[in-house]
Amino acid sequence: MKKLIFIGVLGLFALGSCNSKKTGHEGHDHETVTHNHDEHEGHDHETEGHDHEAEGADHSHEGECSGGHDHDKDAGKSSKAAGEHSEPAGEHSDEIILPKAKADAAGVKVSTITPAPFQQVIKTSGQVLAAQGDESVAVATVAGVVSFRGKVTEGMSVGRGTPLITISSHNIADGDPVQRARIAYEVSKKEYERMKSLVKNKIVSDKDFAQAEQNYENARLSYEALAKNHSAIGQNITAPIAGYVKSILVNEGDYVTIGQPLVSVTQNRRLFLRAEVSEKYYPYLRTISSANFQTPYNNEVYELKELSGKLLSFGKTSGDNSFYVPVTFEFDNKGEVIPGSFVEVYLLSSELENVISLPRTALTEEQGIFFVYLQLDEEGYKKQEVTLGADNGKSVQILTGVKAGDRVVTEGAYQVRLASASNAIPAHSHEH
């Protein structure tokens, strides 16, 4: 009987303990409600046949408090509920909102990715040169001192025969060459005419007459050549062809000798593109068909196929003290390319099929990593990292990050990037 009363008391005590736990989680210390069987002196569980293991399911404190209320399970449910609540917000936390009106005003354009052929590229450097026959140099026809005719500047347009320089031979020890040529011409002419009348009467030999005739003709040619562009102030040097002054090779007041280059004039109608290619690409040179090049002064990329360009030749050996092989193209100059300028060259070789490529304007860079922006809907965009392949100066091969059918911002990517920094939707946080 005592045993039954004791068990009943224990049950009420445990029930009250569980109710206390259910009503007050905050500040509840489970250690203070420890049930110590040793405090019940004189109560011998073994002698009374009380088997805890058999009744463990009912007498367990964990089981008593389980009552469907498991703290670990409740905590898991709470975490799961919080996660389920924040998950939809997480899906849109990286979405960039840019209203259509603002996108149109910023010039944002979107294109759908479609695989297309793409040529392999060898990137190198090169130089634009004047084509043979399109450039000529005005040289000094007499020795003397240089004096420019008006303002002669590099880049100015000139016509054939336009006066550029005057060479004066006054006050020079040898005297004015034109005057000397005139005197020599007049003397040889008189001698020739005198011997011409004497040779008929066999007074002079035919040999002497032939020598006099030769001297006369040489003097005549020399005098006529010098007198052609001669004036009171000196010898005029004119533009040999119509075109543009490429370079001025002398300064005002310089003394020049006969045959010395003075001014270079170019027509700029056809130009050469000379690319220097590393020897390691030599096996691929036979596959090169065209090229693109980018100038340093306007950063514009020119395509030779749009400039009636053609491949002229490629070197069979590298140059002296050089590890590069020259590849030469010829193309039309539309007045925008400066001969002599150094450029970046993109040599186009064999063609690849079904390649995903994007214009360079679609790319943005952050610390060496490249990104594009995908359009999710009319006003939503997403930043996407991509891996780049071959680059032909205008378009870039995309190896990973996007797929066919994706809608990518091809113009105005930096405007979308600015929008992501200013009004991106923040991630939702759910605090308990």
CA angle in degrees (0–180, nearest 5) for 326-330-332: 150
Q: How far apart are CA 392 and CA 124, in angstroms?
A: 11
Q: Is residue 429 part of a domain?
A: no
CA angle in degrees (0–180, nearest 5) for 276-278-284: 100
246: containing domain = 136-167+235-267
Q: Same structural domain for residues 288 and 335?
A: yes
Q: Same structural domain for residues 176 and 294?
A: no
Q: Residues near 275 by Cβ (< 8 Å), separated by ≥ 6? A: 124, 125, 126, 291, 326, 327, 328, 329, 345, 347
What is the tally of structural domains in the chain?
A: 4
pLDDT of residue 152: 87
pLDDT of residue 23: 39
Q: How far apart are CA 355 and CA 343, in angstroms?
A: 27
pLDDT of residue 397: 92
Q: What is the CATH number of the domain that holds 306?
A: 2.40.30.170
* Per-residue confidence in pLDDT tens, the chain, 432 aa: 444 444 444 444 444 444 444 434 444 444 443 444 444 444 444 434 444 443 443 444 444 444 444 444 444 444 443 444 444 444 455 788 888 888 888 888 999 999 998 888 889 999 998 877 778 899 988 888 899 988 888 878 888 888 899 988 777 766 677 777 888 888 999 888 888 878 877 788 888 888 888 998 888 888 887 777 777 778 888 899 888 888 899 999 898 988 899 998 888 778 899 999 888 888 888 888 899 999 888 888 899 988 889 999 887 665 556 688 889 999 988 767 888 889 999 999 888 888 999 999 999 998 889 999 999 988 889 999 999 998 888 899 999 999 999 999 999 888 888 887 765 444 444 444
Helices and strands (DSSP H and E) totals, the chain: 8, 24
Q: Is residue 325 part of a domain?
A: yes
Q: What is the CATH number of the domain that holds 239?
A: 2.40.50.100
In the DSSP assignment, the letter for residue 318 is: P
Q: Same structural domain for residues 284 and 382?
A: no
Last residue of a domain, one of 244, 267, 290: 267
In the DSSP assignment, the letter for residue 2 is: H
Q: Same structural domain for residues 148 and 240?
A: yes
Q: Is 133 exposed, middle or buried (0-12, 13-18, 19+ CB in 10 A)?
A: exposed
Q: 296 vs 27, 128, 364, 390, CA distance in Å?
A: 73, 12, 21, 21
Q: What is the CATH number of the domain that holds 192?
A: 1.10.287.470
CA angle in degrees (0–180, nearest 5) for 268-269-272: 75
pLDDT of residue 85: 40
